[in-house]
Amino acid sequence: MAFTLPELPWAKDALAPHISAETLDFHYGKHHQAYVTNLNKLVEGKPEADKTLEQIILASEGGVFNNAAQIWNHTFYWRSMKPGGGGKPTGKLLELVTRDFGSADTLLQQLGEAAKTQFGSGWAWLVEEGGKLKVTKTSNADLPMKHGQKALLTCDVWEHAYYIDYRNARPSYVDAYLQHLVNWDFAAKNLG
Ligand code: MN
């Protein structure tokens, strides 16, 4: 069964002005779609074609891994944002954040720092590992499940995520993500 491009969880103009519909036309409509198209071509007629995306990600390397992981990463990234997001975690997630980071402000600072300092293309993450929350960053298509970690939230820092709206100013994009878009309810739902 062929892989398909999942629906966005909100309208394409819903994140404006922080992320424009034009960015999403390219980022979702072209980049995310291309990973789906490429993976389907790579696995056509092969045993992987009948596996789940997660099974392929855990078992593959090279082009198959890159395209499969990027499909998963982008689907997860769209859900890590919502119109009117931002603020701070609440409830159980806030308890765990306070336990493991000291405060929500420290988590925001660490997540922002990871996103701003990832060298080249990649992702910043809030993950759960061994019962503890931590902030990590990965390069290119790499992702937490490949390292025994459970992803709770992500920020895409490939240039295609921000170049139309922010040009080279990645820090401004990261600040907008944290202040206006980040979806803490989604992160809380991903807790094990
Ligand atoms: Mn991307």
pLDDT per position as a tens digit, 121-176: 999 999 999 999 999 999 999 999 999 999 999 999 999 999 999 999 999 999 99
pLDDT tens column, 65-103: 999 999 999 999 999 999 999 999 999 999 999 999 999
79, 102, 122 — which closes off a domain? 79
Taking a C-beta distance cutoff of 8 angstroms, is the pair 115, 153 a contact?
A: no
pLDDT tens column, 41-66: 999 999 999 999 999 999 999 999 99
Distance 158 CA to ligand 1 centre (A): 6
Burial bucket for residue 152 (CB in 10 Å: 0-12, 13-18, 19+): buried
Distance 75 CA to ligand 1 centre (A): 10
Same domain, 169 and 135: yes
Taking a C-beta distance cutoff of 8 angstroms, is the pair 25, 113 a contact?
A: no
Same domain, 70 and 109: no
36, 51, 79 — which closes off a domain? 79
CA angle 181, 155, 49 (to 5 degrees): 120
pTM summary value: 0.98
Distance 78 CA to ligand 1 centre (A): 10
Distance 115 CA to ligand 1 centre (A): 13
Same domain, 95 and 181: yes
Residue 16 pLDDT: 98
Split into its structural domains, the chain has a count of 2
pLDDT tens column, 10-46: 999 999 999 999 999 999 999 999 999 999 999 999 9
Give the domain extent around 148.
91-189
Distance 121 CA to ligand 1 centre (A): 9
pLDDT surpasses 70 at 1: no
Distance 63 CA to ligand 1 centre (A): 16
Distance 190 CA to ligand 1 centre (A): 21
Distance CA 73, CA 171 (A): 20
Q: CA quadruple 149, 152, 155, 161: dihedral positive or negative?
A: positive
Residue 192 pLDDT: 78
Residue 124 pLDDT: 98
Q: Measure Cα distances from 166 to 74, 94, 177 in Å.
A: 19, 30, 12
Q: What is the CATH number of the domain that holds 53?
A: 1.10.287.990
Same domain, 98 and 144: yes
DSSP letter (8 states) at residue 41: H
Is the model more confident about 190 or about 192?
Answer: 190
